[in-house]
Amino acid sequence: MEESKLRELLNSLSIEEKIGQLIQLSGEFFSAKDISVGPQKKLGITKDAVELCGSVLNVVGAKETHRIQDAYLKGKKHPIPLIFMSDIVYGFRTIYPIPLGLGATWNPDLIQKAYRNTAEEAYASGNQVTFAPMVDLARDARWGRSLESTGEDPYLNSRFAASMVKGLQEDLPKYGLVSCVKHFAAYGAVESGREYNATDMSENRLRQYYLPSYKAAVDAGAKMVMSSFNTLNGVPVTGNKWLLKDILRKEWNFDGVIISDYAAIAELVAHGFAKDNQEASKLALEATVDIDMKSPCYANELKPLVTEGKLDESKIDNAVWRVLKLKNDLGLFEDPYRGSSEELEKKLIMTPEKRELAKKVSTEAMVLLKNENNMLPLDKNKKVALIGPYENEHELLGLWAVHGDRKATVTIEDGFKKYLNSDNLFTSKGTDILRNKSIFRSMGLNSEQIDHVVSSKEIEEKNNEDAIETARKADIIVFAAGEHTIESGEAGSRGNLTLPDNQLELLDKLSKLNKPIILICISGRPLILTDVEPKVSAIIEAWFPGTEGGNALADIIFGKSNPSGRLSMSFPYAVGQLPIYYSQFSTGRSVKTSTHSSRFMSKYIDIPNDPLYSFGYGLSYSKVKYSNLRLSSKELEMTDNLIASIDVTNMSDRNTTEVVQMYIQDKFASVVQPVKSLKGFERVTLNPNETKTVNFEINKKMLSFYGLDNKLTVEPGEFNIFIGPNSDVEDFATFNLK
Ligand code: NOJ
């Protein structure tokens, strides 16, 4: 529709119709035959508000979305189509590894393709918007939503944020999905890693480390932003004018739609920020939150605010305009189904090509953390016992794959069977995922929803014994262990980050057999593997690996693929280190450089400072040598660029992909800078014994930081450049910026 017509439409709407566009309700409001009855009462909004609501949350499927759209449009004075928005976070039906695994690929181009495929599946199925990517910086593994993040580094996260947005939106307006980047802002820094908690940090820290990934998503064209649940320095984000208006809209020129997180407007009252829902609605709307996701606030309060003269109606008009514009840009007025159909679903969803890409992503996401005596890859002629609760488990998708097809998941056993015949493969679960039922009960789940839990001591003992007997028959034990799906993701914060007790006990028993053990770790976060590590010969961090997880794992374990995943979030040594990240400040008394006597340094007295596995770390089956680090010049003019180069040599007889990482340290600055910050990386594929030179162009932008005035600045002086295989790299070259 032409923009002038859209304006006319806006001007012809009643205040109720306008407010309707600013309300989002979930599927339950639409699945009843008569949409006016039932659950809306729980929310406490009127039948009219439900009927006028402009967008739907988490309903998918061409048939269902068409049914709802048809019923909705029927008899409407102004038939403005509904817009369907869903959580399609890392795959729609074909599920990729969790984003922490996507981060470990260090391959934003590949992930762009994955998100494009995801958008295509979801578009066919009647969705127009996804609440993705989630780009929160995650440095505290206690936070369950680390699962949804690409990790701890602003630069790496920004690269992924941009690629995900581009992938989702690249076929717009006709195909693909609108990307709603979330959770703006700094949600990853919730205190103590506890979900929905407060964040508090200086503006300087916010700008330098926490905002860049959202900015990258907005710069890549994300058409929507979700405001986060947390307070930031005492002000809840959903009512935070400074963040939403001054930074997001004015500084960053964002003119798309802002949606609140689920019920976050009403929660402004619970935060102690607004005295009631009416004040909450005013604060949120004035902060330019356009859509109220699943709270009664806008539905009940906006009209009284206007009629009582407390809110200028033009503010509502502005919000409605942004929503109408989004619908119009997507062509919904011309085709409210936007081309989706059941035929298209059959054609586009879970095609062999899409599954193949998912397998590739899953393979690249896996991180080989340990490989003592080159235990891996396994020889197909060896006898293998595949033990553990994830041995033949379909639940490999992780908590936020809400629309994923679990039945279509390739299990680890399925994957192994492609390499081993029944004479060489023995399997036994040995135990369930968890023993502790109280986690489920505290989440309000009933006994039917409690699965993968040890049902009795007797059964547990029998399962353990069976596993031991099975393991005895084999040369090598592969232990497929991990967290339960409900232990990570939203509201999955944990205080203990080890594998479940029952799995640890089984591992202890298995280790007494004195056979090599390979640990496959399924998890939604970095777990603490400190006590497990000495008991096993090899560790593969597989995350929740997605639909093709079993195939990807088998290809790695049997050597068809050479692992190339590198951690994008540190694996702590102990919970007491959290939050932990490589780009720390040196402090006045760094253990690495201090000349003070041993006690009076910045350290713990009972655990090391360093994580068990650092950011950027990951092994392959090849040894790669880094040599000859050099700079094109030791002096750099502000207006110039400089080239840093290194030679990388594959010392093995198999092809390998090395993630060459470049870090910079600004040695002295008016606001102190981290000991190292990632500024570039390159995935380099090397043939056996091949050497390649990798060059990085160093420019002024890479050397900038937020100064005391919270503006980007560059200061002359000395910089160190580190190039190597992970953030522990020690070799550096120095140049002087004039
Ligand atoms: C709450 C979550 O925080 C957010 O990530 C999600 O998009 C919404 N619920 C909608 O399901």
Q: Hey, what are 333's tokens?
A: 């007025």
Residue 684 sits in the same domain as residue 729: yes
Hey, how many other C-beta atoms are within 10 angstroms of the C-beta on 390? Answer: 28
β-partners of residue 650 are: 624
**pLDDT grade, residue 582 (50/70/90)?**
very high
Residue 393 sits in the same domain as residue 259: no
Instruction: Using alpha carbons, select from 345, 320, 344, 399 the residue that is nearest to residue 83.
Output: 320
What is the spatial distance between Cα 298 and Cα 238, in angstroms, rounded to a whole number?
Answer: 13
Strands 476-482 and 517-522: parallel
Percent of the chain with pLDDT over 90: 92
The length of the chain is 738
Nearest-atom number in ligand 1 for the CA of 228 is 3
Catalytic residues: 261
Instruction: Using alpha carbons, select from 452, 349, 327, 310 the residue that is nearest to residue 95.
Output: 349
Helix (H, G, I), strand (E, B) or coil at 252: coil
Burial class (CB in 10 A: 0-12, 13-18, 19+), 171: middle
Q: What is the mean pLDDT of residues 253-268?
A: 97
- CA 397-400-406 angle, to 5 degrees, is 35
Higher pLDDT, 557 or 454: 557
What is the spatial distance between Cα 540 and Cα 455, in angstroms, rounded to a whole number?
Answer: 29
**pLDDT one-digit tens code per residue, 547-562:** 999 999 999 999 999 9
CA of 727: how far to CAs of 248, 679, 707, in Å? 32, 11, 25
Query: Residue 97 above 70 pLDDT?
Result: yes
Residue 392 sits in the same domain as residue 315: no
Residue among 182, 228, 294 whose CB has most ligand 1 atoms within 8 A, to mutate: 182
Average model confidence (pLDDT) across the chain: 96
Domain count, the chain: 3
Of all protein residues, the one whose alpha carbon is nearest to atom 4 of ligand 1 is: 261
Of all protein residues, the one whose alpha carbon is nearest to atom 3 of ligand 1 is: 261
pLDDT at site 40: 55
Q: What is the mean pLDDT of residues 412-416?
A: 98
| Residue listed under structure tokens 């593994």 | 141
Residue among 55, 59, 84, 226 whose CB has most ligand 1 atoms within 8 A, to mutate: 226
C-alpha atoms less than 13 angstroms from C-alpha of 340 in its C-beta half-sphere: 30
What is the spatial distance between Cα 12 and Cα 367, in angstroms, rounded to a whole number?
Answer: 57
**pLDDT grade, residue 597 (50/70/90)?**
confident
Residue 284 sits in the same domain as residue 381: no
CB 180 within 8 A of CB 85: yes
Residue 545 sits in the same domain as residue 422: yes
CA of 295: how far to CAs of 23, 263, 486, in Å? 8, 5, 25
Residue 533 sits in the same domain as residue 677: no
What is the spatial distance between Cα 374 and Cα 362, in angstroms, rounded to a whole number?
Answer: 22
Indicate whether 90 belongs to any domain.
no
Query: Residue 450 above 80 pLDDT?
Result: no
CA of 523: how far to CAs of 25, 100, 194, 359, 606, in Å? 32, 10, 18, 18, 27
**The last residue of a domain, from among 542, 557, 572:** 557
**pLDDT grade, residue 439 (50/70/90)?**
confident
**For residue 472, what are the contacts with CB-CB under 8 A and spacing of at least 6?**
513
Residue 386 sits in the same domain as residue 512: yes
**pLDDT one-digit tens code per residue, 462-501:** 999 999 999 999 999 999 999 999 999 999 999 999 999 9
C-alpha atoms less than 13 angstroms from C-alpha of 578 in its C-beta half-sphere: 28
Residue 260 sits in the same domain as residue 379: no
Hey, how many other C-beta atoms are within 10 angstroms of the C-beta on 630? Answer: 12
Indicate whether 234 belongs to any domain.
no
Query: Residue 34 above 70 pLDDT?
Result: no
pLDDT at site 37: 36
Indicate whether 33 belongs to any domain.
yes
In the reported structure, the alpha carbon of residue 442 is separated from the centroid of ligand 1 by a whole-number distance in angstroms of 20
**pLDDT grade, residue 438 (50/70/90)?**
confident
**pLDDT grade, residue 41 (50/70/90)?**
low
What CATH number should be reported for the domain holding residue 710? 2.60.40.10
Residue 268: its H or E element: helix 267-270
**pLDDT grade, residue 54 (50/70/90)?**
very high
Burial class (CB in 10 A: 0-12, 13-18, 19+), 139: buried
Q: What is the mean pLDDT of residues 168-196?
A: 97
Indicate whether 442 belongs to any domain.
yes
Indicate whether 111 belongs to any domain.
no
What CATH number should be reported for the domain holding residue 405? 3.40.50.1700
Residue 318 sits in the same domain as residue 382: no
Query: Residue 38 above 50 pLDDT?
Result: no
pLDDT at site 30: 86
Higher pLDDT, 454 or 269: 269
Residue 450 sits in the same domain as residue 395: yes
Indicate whether 221 belongs to any domain.
no
In the reported structure, the alpha carbon of residue 585 is separated from the centroid of ligand 1 by a whole-number distance in angstroms of 33
Instruction: Using alpha carbons, select from 245, 97, 141 the residue that is nearest to residue 543.
Output: 97
pLDDT at site 142: 98
Helix (H, G, I), strand (E, B) or coil at 401: coil
Residue 727 sits in the same domain as residue 683: yes
The full DSSP string for 594-617 is --S-TTSSSS-SSS-SS-SB-TT-
pLDDT at site 436: 80
Residue among 56, 261, 488 whose CB has most ligand 1 atoms within 8 A, to mutate: 261
Residue 235: its H or E element: strand 235-236
Indicate whether 119 belongs to any domain.
no
Nearest-atom number in ligand 1 for the CA of 134 is 5
Query: Residue 153 above 60 pLDDT?
Result: yes
Q: What is the mean pLDDT of residues 362-382?
A: 97
In the reported structure, the alpha carbon of residue 229 is separated from the centroid of ligand 1 by a whole-number distance in angstroms of 10
Helix (H, G, I), strand (E, B) or coil at 679: strand
Helix (H, G, I), strand (E, B) or coil at 227: strand
**pLDDT grade, residue 2 (50/70/90)?**
very high
What residue numbers bound the domain in which 685 lies?
A: 624-737
Of all protein residues, the one whose alpha carbon is nearest to atom 10 of ligand 1 is: 262
What secondary structure letter does DSSP report for 501?
Answer: H
The full DSSP string for 523-585 is -SS----TTTGGG-SEEEE--S--TTHHHHHHHHHTTSS------SS-B-SSGGG-S--SS--
Report the sign of the C-alpha dihedral through residues 155, 161, 167, 170, in that order: negative
**pLDDT grade, residue 444 (50/70/90)?**
confident
**pLDDT grade, residue 448 (50/70/90)?**
confident
Query: Residue 219 above 90 pLDDT?
Result: yes
Cis, bond preceding 299 (omega within 30 deg of 0): no
**The last residue of a domain, from among 517, 537, 557:** 557
Indicate whether 636 belongs to any domain.
yes
**The last residue of a domain, from among 557, 583, 606:** 557
Alpha helical stretches, state H, 271-393: 277-286, 297-307, 313-329, 342-348, 352-365
Question: Which residues form ligand 1's pocket by a CB distance below 6 Å?
Answer: 58, 87, 131, 182, 261-262, 490
Query: Residue 320 above 80 pLDDT?
Result: yes
Query: Residue 33 above 50 pLDDT?
Result: no
Residue 327 sits in the same domain as residue 380: no
